[in-house]
Amino acid sequence: MSESTLQYCRVDEVVWDDQSEGPESEKVPGLRKKIEPWFASLFQSEHLSVLLGSGFTLGICNEAEVSAADMSSDHFDGQWGDKIEKWAKKTAKEMGRGDANIEDRIRCGIALLSGLEIMEDEGADKVRDSINRILLDFLRTIIQAERDYKSKLFSDPDGDTLNAVGILVSFILSFASRMGSRDRLNIFTTNYDRFIEYACDRAGIRLIDRFVGSLAPIFRASRLDVDFHYNPPGIRGEPRFLEGVAKFTKLHGSLDWLSTKNGLIKTGLPFGAKDDHPEIPVEPLNTLMIYPNSAKDIETSMYPYVELFRDFSAGICRPNSTLVTYGYGFGDDHINRIIKDMLTLPSTHLAIIAHSDRNGRISKFCAEIGNKAQITLLLGSHFGNIKVLVNNYLPKPAIDNITWRKAELLKRRGAENSNGDSLQQCGVSDIED
């Protein structure tokens, strides 16, 4: 990989032989000297955002050797099952998604249910029961992945799971370790699980979202610029921003969001709860807030998704903004359009990190962007491995004063550390000039 192709690597230029460790181990140090400082520079952008897809959950579950939730889901049963499956496959293909997943089937099932209810057809009850069954099974599959991840951590505290948790926390901290004087990190995700929240809890990162309250946090459409400040000793009237704070948005909803007559609330469903937990809805169709419609933007223009996508657009469509995607396959047109709008600003940059280019969606997206210099593409099983990524290519997460003084000293000397690593690797990802 040459200097000229570092920012935009074509798919055929990033090929790794997983069966041969020799060549990979020889290339990693050279690639690290190019990629890690480049990421450190990107992370110094005035506005930094990260978009995490299902590949993020799959990666951390693989590190812990547990099974992640399957997006394929069961098919609808009954007389309408074949028609729903046929229409789900058709719409998924039209959107370039490839195989239909649970979101496509649920979307088609809800559309059919609405039609049957209008016609007062007796088959509506069976379709409604099927939707509730599929959603409940999917919900339990997600919770099972959380439970397996959590139980393995405590059952084998000296095993590889601790390392997997450390990788998860380090991944989040690499982005969240920004000085309080900079704009807050924006974390966006299309996942329904709570692995991001779990990592932030362990890392001590304070998340700011639209939910307000303690016992039953409620979703508020009137978003204010709420933040965390503190008063330094001996200083009055000059509050400073607290480090370790990030803004958090779950674009497709969450498994602990429920719609009630009082509004949208966040329940007290624990991470990795049991299947019989009382906070798990019996009929999730009318209460569980997930699966926005990605075909014709019908659902995404309705509450609360319109607020979530407004946050996404406002967070990334700004000058001097950088968006890093990991595990996102570019299969949602409503998200891709906002990213394309962001790239119309010349000072913005998009960094794509993915395990594979399934169905060619990433290549197609990049081909539609006029200025390739605004895209960094790291594609393949090597770069998509979250452990390899954290250990080799992401900047070290640190903003403590000792590390800052060391980094500034090395900067003045114009030297590298004893291991030959870059300044950002031994220092921080947020060094200001």
Using CA atoms of 239, 244, 245, 247 in order, give the dihedral in degrees to the nearest 10: 150
Per the rule left: phi > 0, alpha: psi between -120 and 50, beta: everything else, 296 is: alpha
**Cis bond before residue 304 (omega within 30° of 0):** yes
For the stretch 181-216, what's the b/e string if a residue is b when 16 or more beta carbons lie within 10 angstroms of its beta carbon?
ebbbbbbbbbbbbbbbbbbbeebebebbbbbeeeee
**What's the angle, vertex CA 180, arms to CA 174 and CA 183, rounded to 5?**
80
Question: What pLDDT score was predicted for residue 51?
Answer: 98
**Residue 429 covered by a domain:** no
State which residues form the domain around 52: 3-66+157-252+298-397
Tell me if 136 is assigned to some domain: no
Round to whole Å and give the CA distance between 43 and 203.
19
Query: Residue 375 has which token pair?
Result: 């895209």
Number of structural domains in the chain? 1
- pLDDT at 102 (0 to 100): 83
Q: What's the token pair of residue 219?
A: 């979703």
User: String of b and e for 297-320 (b: at least 16 CB within 10 Å)?
Assistant: bebbeeebbebbbebbeebbbbee
Residue 77: inside a domain, yes or no? Answer: no
Residue 141 lies in a domain: no
In a domain, residue 125? The reply is: no
Which pLDDT value is given to residue 256?
Answer: 94
CATH number at residue 354: 3.40.50.1220
pLDDT of residue 350: 94
The model carries a pTM of 0.85
DSSP letter at 70 equals: P
In a domain, 206, yes or no: yes
Q: What are the distances in angstroms from CA 154 to CA 45, 58, 141, 387?
A: 38, 20, 20, 21
Handedness of CA 144, 148, 150, 154 (dihedral sign): positive
Q: For residues 3 and 388, what is the distance between their CA atoms, to the nearest angstrom?
A: 21
pLDDT of 304: 84
Per-residue pLDDT of the chain (433 residues; tens, 9 = 90+): 433 333 334 333 333 333 334 455 667 887 888 888 889 888 889 999 999 999 999 999 998 888 888 776 667 877 888 888 888 888 887 776 777 888 888 888 888 998 999 999 988 999 999 999 999 999 999 999 999 998 877 655 555 556 788 899 999 999 988 877 788 999 999 999 999 999 999 989 999 999 998 888 999 887 667 888 888 887 777 788 888 899 999 999 999 999 888 889 999 999 999 988 999 998 898 888 877 655 545 555 577 888 899 999 999 999 999 999 999 999 888 899 999 999 999 999 999 999 888 778 888 898 898 888 899 888 888 888 999 999 989 987 765 567 667 767 877 787 554 444 444 444 444 444 4
